[in-house]
């Protein structure tokens, strides 16, 4: 592709915006699960290119492919019917008899070879040019039979018993892409058919992966009552959804959410559910600010929330010492009471440990980030950054076009977050009238 086709300005912008994510993802461990349909044309090419890109950016990758359509095709060729049993919570699980197991083994081999072959290409005209990816797989999953559930013997359908994390880590440390098939080997030397999604959860949990990413066939999570897509959930909210609306959730979504909750509880940093049919979903999710899927992140024992009138004493306790020192402008209680709706606080175990305000001047499509204060015991751990990012998102939602901040001591804090030094003329008019030349605060502005 020629530069002119790429719209150079946008290209440069995109690359710059992606840079922080590239740095953040380097050296992290991602487990990526996808169904067997993703290994078939036309989607497979894009998937392989995205995987190769992630690997070349230094992401430690574990791939867990499913093989359902490949298994079904083999069963059909032998004139066999697939058997699925609804056994309590295990909806959608195959009952694997000896004939089906043969098909499962062949299908898993086909998927593995297909991926290995495609990840080995280095043709000059593709995004794989110059790449040398080493893909390794092996017997990292120990399985046991699922056994009899709801009166049904699942035969060669198994569940994960153990993940050989040592072997996996050794491969990832060596720069390999690890491929884990949905097959497990038992201590008795038998092969068991496993659910790829369950294998991905078990592997991510065992590795303490930074991310578990499911590329599903369809928009994975929407609220069944309203169809509203679910952008972000805590495991608690996911559990709630499963409890309340379980019957209305598609079985596949319910299973993915259950797995996500399990993974978060086992220490996985984040779980992403993506619609693989959306072109570039993986890259959009990982390299843009808003993402395109459903993100499940573990509950934090502290959270940012809008301030309430009862928070005023706690906010004053935070800001008074800073006002006395001259780091913050004096804000009498009466003024704080009138502005409280514009304040956000971070609460930790019931105590307010940080605050910041977004004072809007809607007439001028502007806002002021004010009164950013973090309890000295909790400084230096990214809380001011979290607050400012959140207020920036609020400002965008309110369609404000510029943000200003005034500070005596934290100029660089703002400059490192995209604010630029500016003169008093950039202040909203009403704020300019209050500008205290004696304080000599630095004025900073950020165009949104
Ligand atoms: C400025 C303040 C809000 C920062 O709080 P914090 O929670 O410690 O900040 P974060 O941890 O989110 O800081 C993120 C980054 O900014 C840097 N930073 C923090 N304070 C800074 C300052 N005053 N100047 C320059 N950079 C600063 C941190 O070092 C950190 O970078 P690093 O991770 O690369 O080291 C806090 O020090 C404070 O309450 N100061 C007094 C009030 C004030 O000046 N407010 C701003 C005017 S409204």
Let me know the angle formed at the C-alpha of 372 by 370 and 377, rounded to the nearest 5 degrees: 165
How far, in whole angstroms, is CA 267 from its chain's centroid?
14
Q: Which fold has domain 3-296?
A: Carbamate kinase (3.40.1160)
Residue 2 pLDDT level (bands cut at 50, 70, 90): low
Best residue for ligand 1 mutational test, from 357, 411, 413, 440 (most atoms within 8 Å of Cβ): 413
Q: What is the pTM of this model?
A: 0.67
Q: Check pLDDT > 70 for residue 396.
A: yes
Class of domain 302-447: alpha beta
Q: Check pLDDT > 50 for residue 29.
A: yes
Q: Check pLDDT > 70 for residue 313.
A: yes
385 lines ligand 1 (CB under 6 A): yes
Q: Within 10 A of 200 (CB to CB), how many other CB atoms are there? A: 29
Pairwise CA distance, residues 144 & 128, whole Å:
38
| pLDDT per residue as tens digits for the range 167-204 | 999 999 999 999 999 999 998 999 999 999 999 999 99
Which residues partner with 373 through β-bridges? 355
pLDDT of residue 240: 86
322 lines ligand 1 (CB under 6 A): yes
Ligand 1, atom 40, residue with closest C-alpha: 373
Q: Check pLDDT > 80 for residue 128.
A: no
Q: Check pLDDT > 50 for residue 87.
A: no
* Average pLDDT rounded to a whole number, residues 393-416: 95
Cα separation values, 286 from 37, 170, 272, 371, 412, Å: 22, 25, 10, 32, 28
Averaging pLDDT over each range in 130-139, 211-220, 231-240, 357-366, which range is the top one? 357-366
Percent of the chain with pLDDT over 90: 67
* Average pLDDT rounded to a whole number, residues 149-158: 90
Phi, psi of 391 (to 5 degrees): -65, -35
Residue 107 pLDDT level (bands cut at 50, 70, 90): very high
Residue 15 pLDDT level (bands cut at 50, 70, 90): confident
Nearest atom in ligand 1 to the alpha carbon of residue 412 is 25
Best residue for ligand 1 mutational test, from 329, 384, 391, 404 (most atoms within 8 Å of Cβ): 384
* Average pLDDT rounded to a whole number, residues 116-124: 84
Residue 124 pLDDT level (bands cut at 50, 70, 90): low
Averaging pLDDT over each range in 17-26, 87-96, 99-108, 379-388, which range is the top one? 99-108
pLDDT of residue 90: 43
pLDDT of residue 300: 62
* Average pLDDT rounded to a whole number, residues 354-372: 96
137 lines ligand 1 (CB under 6 A): no
If we measure between CA atoms, which residue out of 380, 383, 381, 404 comes closest to residue 392?
404
> Which residue in the block uniquely carries the two structure tokens 């080997």?
185
374 lines ligand 1 (CB under 6 A): yes
**Number of helical H runs and strand E runs in the chain:** 14, 23
Ligand 1 centroid from CA 383, angstroms? 8
pLDDT of residue 96: 94
Query: Residues near 4 by Cβ (< 8 Å), separated by ≥ 6?
Result: none
| pLDDT per residue as tens digits for the range 198-251 | 999 999 999 999 999 999 988 767 877 777 788 888 898 898 888 886 567 888
| pLDDT per residue as tens digits for the range 262-288 | 999 999 999 999 999 988 899 999 988
If we measure between CA atoms, which residue out of 232, 291, 379 comes closest to residue 21?
291
| Mean pLDDT taken over the chain | 90
Pairwise CA distance, residues 185 & 140, whole Å:
9
Return the domain boundaries, the chain.
Answer: 3-296, 302-447
């Amino acid at each position: 592709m020629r530069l002119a086709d790429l719209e150079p300005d946008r290209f440069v912008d995109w690359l710059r915006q992606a840079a922080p994510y590239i740095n953040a993802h380097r050296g992290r461990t991602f487990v990526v699960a996808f169904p067997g349909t993703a290994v078939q044309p036309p989607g497979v090419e894009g998937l392989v290119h995205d995987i190769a890109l992630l690997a070349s950016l230094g992401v430690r990758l574990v791939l867990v492919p499913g093989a359902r359509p490949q298994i079904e095709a083999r069963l059909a060729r032998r004139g066999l019917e697939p058997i699925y049993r609804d056994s309590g919570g295990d909806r959608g699980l195959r009952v694997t008899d000896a004939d089906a197991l043969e098909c499962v083994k062949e299908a898993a081999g086909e998927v593995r070879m297909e991926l290995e072959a495609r990840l080995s290409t280095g043709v000059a005209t593709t995004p794989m040019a110059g790449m040398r990816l080493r893909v390794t797989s092996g017997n990292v999953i120990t399985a046991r039979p699922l056994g009899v559930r709801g009166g049904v013997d699942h035969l060669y359908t198994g569940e994960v018993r153990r993940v050989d994390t040592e072997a996996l880590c050794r491969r990832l440390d060596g720069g390999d892409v690890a491929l884990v098939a949905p097959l497990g080997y038992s201590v008795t030397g038998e092969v068991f058919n496993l659910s790829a999604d369950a294998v991905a959860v078990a592997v991510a949990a065992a590795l303490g992966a930074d991310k578990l990413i499911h590329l599903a066939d369809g928009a994975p999570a929407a609220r069944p009552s309203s169809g509203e897509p679910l952008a972000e959930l805590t495991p608690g909210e996911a559990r709630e959804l499963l409890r309340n609306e379980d019957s209305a959730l598609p079985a596949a979504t319910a299973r993915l959410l259950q797995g996500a909750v399990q993974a978060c509880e086992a220490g996985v940093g984040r779980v992403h559910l993506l619609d693989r049919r959306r072109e570039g979903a993986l890259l959009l999710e990982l390299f843009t600010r808003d993402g395109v899927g459903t993100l499940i992140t573990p509950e934090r024992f502290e959270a940012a929330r809008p301030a309430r009138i009862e928070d005023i004493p706690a906010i004053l306790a935070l800001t008074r010492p800073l006002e006395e020192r001259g780091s913050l402008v004096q804000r009498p209680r009466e003024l704080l009471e009138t502005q409280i709706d514009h304040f956000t606080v971070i609460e930790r175990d019931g105590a307010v440990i940080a605050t910041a305000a977004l004072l809007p001047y809607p007439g001028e499509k502007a806002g002021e980030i004010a009164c950013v204060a973090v309890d000295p015991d909790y400084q230096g751990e990214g809380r001011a950054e979290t607050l400012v990012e959140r207020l920036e998102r609020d400002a965008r939602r309110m369609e404000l076009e510029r943000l200003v901040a005034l500070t005596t001591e934290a100029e660089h804090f703002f400059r490192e977050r995209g604010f630029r030094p500016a003169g008093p003329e950039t202040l909203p008019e009403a704020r300019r009238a209050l500008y205290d030349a004696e304080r000599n605060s630095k004025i900073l502005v950020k165009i949104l």
